[in-house]
Amino acid sequence: MPDDFERMWGDLAPVGRSASSGGYFRQPFASAERELAQWFVEQCAARGLRVETDEIGNAVGWWDVGSGPAVLTGSHLDSVLDGGAYDGPLGVVSALAAIDLMRARGVVPTRPVGVSVFVEEEGSRFGLACLGSRLASGALSWEAARELRDRDGVALGDVVPGAASSLLSSVGTFVELHVEQGRDLVDRGAAIGVASEIWPHGRYRFDFAGAANHAGTTRMEDRQDPMLTYAMTALAANKQARLAGQRATFGRVAVTPNGTNAVPSAVTAWLDARCSTDAGLAELVDAIGRQGSERADRDGTSLTVTAESVSGAVTFDPALAAAVAADHEGGAWPIIPTQAGHDAGILSAAGIPTAMLFVRNPTGVSHSPAEHAEVADCLVGVSALADTLDRLTR
């Protein structure tokens, strides 16, 4: 019943959407994201899926069928600030639609199937990506997580009661369907791909400290302006990553006091860095920090670099990827790497055999209101996910 996909997609379209940019603001535990969570519960109920939640707010809708280790599939409903419609919701809606399709085809799995929604995958509120899956899988302790704070100073521990979770206790395999965030599938002329690996990546807080002063009366040579140190560091990060075929981005900045006529006392900026190897990532961040510190010496400022989260290389189960990708009508699905982190990477690192399906993205644009996938490709994705769940539950 492919119709169901489009109806569900239409349900979600207006929720948390900015009228000015057309982008989405679905930060965790805030109204838009909570509306989506409630929508998910209703969709599960409409399908007779038993909803199980944990303290942190992750949810699974269980199709209680068969026995043995369950196959879990799903994604997330939160977004980056001003994000696109597909990153996250496509995997949840496709999972529900895939169950509809399996049932329409008369498939009866021999194992339980679950549809999952993990909270705070983007880290847009508490700064740590894949927060829900890290806590549910035990990769992160509640003691470490409870003190994470959002931009208003609210602690995670003030928002949710704890992180107790048994959602993953019966899970034998995890499958996440996701819109592709690059153009590899376009280049290969394929609607569907399978993930081979996730590049190592991390978030690093760069604190530049200087001395506040009057922007008009302070001679240029008397200043200790951290904005200059930051500016040079941002350019250096770009150059380093370009030369090495890696990725480095300063997309978030906070200036103190942020007044037009004051030399700032401090600039804090966050580096997002990604490399094909763990060693390359460490070298990249070191090189950027070193160039920033050298400039700080010249500016009379200081730089402190703090790793807020670092995710090592994830190689998805190669036998599982090969089994998911092979022997399809029209040929095998391509197996490609990604530079983006996902809950699938956390669960894979926690020892759960995991696969990812990607749906073609015509422009490769993501984390943007312009993020897009064609409906026809999304419906191919639903069918591919149904096929995959069928294979894994025979």
Site for a second copy in 178-207 (CB under 8 A): 181-182, 199, 201, 203
Q: In the complex with a second copy, which residue's Cβ is closer, 231 or 282? A: 231
Using rule CB under 8 A, residue 335 touches a second copy: no
- Let me know how many helices (H) and strands (E) the chain has, helices first: 12, 15
Closest CA to 133 of 34, 13, 28: 28
Question: Least distance (Å) from a second copy to the CB of residue 125?
Answer: 10
Length of the chain equals: 394
Using rule CB under 8 A, residue 278 touches a second copy: no
Q: Quickly tell me which residue has 């003190």 as its tokens.
A: 147
Size of the site for a second copy (CB under 8 A): 71
Question: Least distance (Å) from a second copy to the CB of residue 359?
Answer: 14
Q: How far is CA 39 from CA 12, 63, 283, 293, 326, in A?
A: 9, 17, 44, 49, 35
What tokens does 25 get? 């603001």
How many whole angstroms separate alpha carbon 7 and alpha carbon 277?
Answer: 41
The correct pick among 234, 320, 324, 389 for binding a second copy (CB under 8 A) is: 234
How many whole angstroms separate alpha carbon 169 and alpha carbon 70?
Answer: 9
The correct pick among 212, 282, 322, 380 for binding a second copy (CB under 8 A) is: 212
Question: Least distance (Å) from a second copy to the CB of residue 107?
Answer: 33
Q: Evaluate whether 77 touches 117 at the Cβ level (below 8 Å).
A: yes
Using rule CB under 8 A, residue 373 touches a second copy: no
Using rule CB under 8 A, residue 340 touches a second copy: yes
The correct pick among 53, 170, 256, 302 for binding a second copy (CB under 8 A) is: 256
How many whole angstroms separate alpha carbon 345 and alpha carbon 291?
Answer: 31
Pairing of strands 201-209, 266-274: antiparallel
Task: Give percent helix, percent strand, percent coil of the chain, each to the nearest 5.
Answer: 35, 25, 40
Using rule CB under 8 A, residue 367 touches a second copy: yes
Map the footprint of a second copy across residues 294-313, applying CB under 8 A.
Answer: none
Question: Least distance (Å) from a second copy to the CB of residue 340?
Answer: 5
Q: Evaluate whether 104 touches 386 at the Cβ level (below 8 Å).
A: no
The correct pick among 241, 346, 373, 392 for binding a second copy (CB under 8 A) is: 241
Question: Least distance (Å) from a second copy to the CB of residue 166?
Answer: 30
Map the footprint of a second copy across residues 41-80, applying CB under 8 A.
Answer: 80
The correct pick among 19, 46, 220, 319 for binding a second copy (CB under 8 A) is: 220
Q: In the complex with a second copy, which residue's Cβ is closer, 225 or 343? A: 225
Q: Which amino acid is it at 369? A: P
Alpha helices (H) in the chain, listed in sequence order: 2-12, 31-46, 89-104, 131-137, 142-145, 156-159, 184-188, 226-244, 278-299, 318-325, 343-349, 375-392
Q: In the complex with a second copy, which residue's Cβ is closer, 242 or 328? A: 242
Q: Is the dihedral of CA 80, 86, 92, 93 positive or negative?
A: positive
Using rule CB under 8 A, residue 255 touches a second copy: yes
Using rule CB under 8 A, residue 217 touches a second copy: yes
Using rule CB under 8 A, residue 259 touches a second copy: yes
Using rule CB under 8 A, residue 227 touches a second copy: yes
Using rule CB under 8 A, residue 394 touches a second copy: no
The correct pick among 88, 109, 112, 127 for binding a second copy (CB under 8 A) is: 127
Q: In the complex with a second copy, which residue's Cβ is closer, 114 or 280? A: 280
The correct pick among 19, 143, 153, 219 for binding a second copy (CB under 8 A) is: 219
Q: Evaluate whether 8 touches 1 at the Cβ level (below 8 Å).
A: no
The correct pick among 1, 45, 235, 375 for binding a second copy (CB under 8 A) is: 235
